[in-house]
Amino acid sequence: MNDPLSPAPLWQALVREEVMGLLLRPDANDPDGLPRVNTLPLALSDCGQWLDAHLAARHADDLHPGRRVRVQFQGPHAYISPSVYNSRREVPTWNHLGVQIDGHIHLETEPAAAEALLMRLVAQVDPAYAAQWPELPPAQQQAKLGAIRCFRIRIESVRTHTKLSQRRPFSERRRMGDYLAERNPALLRWMDRLGLLTPGAGDEVAA
């Protein structure tokens, strides 16, 4: 069964809404072979083929052109009480959705390109600041840009993971919607967007 979040307009919407992601890559200095991880904001390009990001220079010393990395975006999630199920022989669960993206690093080493990348991220989260940035003295702008490393990730593969009780009967999903209305409206909205709050073929409508 295809994951409900897999169509590009849907996973791209989650990435743009969540913004914050986890950047993972191998850490040659970790004795146990664990990955190096950074939490950072990322902006998805209009064409949906690139992620724009930046890190403090001290955290980006291993980001070389062509390096393969993974980014994980976690969407809304919530505890689900077994009280929503038709049978009392059920157990609690936790519903969630997310996106995993693999790609290669492209460094923006030219100051103009790095500044343009930052402005794309600003435009996504705080468009009003785009007019304030030019007011900073040039020396301050250069100092700020010099303290970070701007880079793009060329998206090569996308995997989505959705656990929203999509295989449960509609009567239970409807009850789950009522349960989430006060507890987690964000997750409820995603259930609605993915069509899980309307009966589909083969669904039992009666509660």
CA–CA gap between residue 5 and residue 2 (Å, rounded): 8
Residue 106 is predicted with a pLDDT of: 97
pLDDT tens sequence across 175-189: 999 999 999 999 999
Residue 202: pLDDT over 60: no
H/E segment holding residue 22: strand 20-26
Residue 200 pLDDT level (bands cut at 50, 70, 90): confident
CA–CA separation, 195 and 166 (whole Å): 9
- Residue 1: predicted pLDDT: 59
Predicted local confidence at residue 84, as pLDDT: 96
SS3 168: coil
Specify whether the CB–CB gap between 79 and 184 falls below 8 A.
no
pLDDT at 115 over 70: yes
Residue written as token pair 């997310």: 98
Span 155-174, pLDDT tens digits: 999 999 999 999 999 999 99
Boundaries of every domain in the chain: 8-76+94-162
What mean pLDDT do residues 74-93 have? 96
Query: Given a cut of 70, is residue 201 above it in pLDDT?
Result: no
Instruction: With a cut of 90, say whether residue 9 has pLDDT above it.
Output: yes
What is the b/e burial string over 158-175, where b = at least 16 CB atoms within 10 angstroms of the residue's CB?
Answer: bebebebbbebbbbbbbb
Q: How confident is the model at residue 207 (pLDDT cuts 50, 70, 90)?
A: very low
User: How confident is the prediction for the chain on average, in pLDDT?
Assistant: 94
Q: Specify the pLDDT at position 206.
A: 43
pTM of the model: 0.91
Q: What is the CATH number of domain 8-76+94-162?
A: 2.30.110.10
Tens digits of residue pLDDT in 12-51: 999 999 999 999 999 989 999 999 999 999 999 999 999 9
Residue 204 pLDDT grade (very low, low, confident, very high; cuts 50, 70, 90): low
pLDDT digits (tens, 9 = 90+) for 125-151: 899 998 899 999 999 999 999 999 999
What is the rounded distance in angstroms from the CA atom of residue 162 to the CA atom of residue 132?
Answer: 39
Q: Which two tokens stand for residue 195?
A: 């069509």
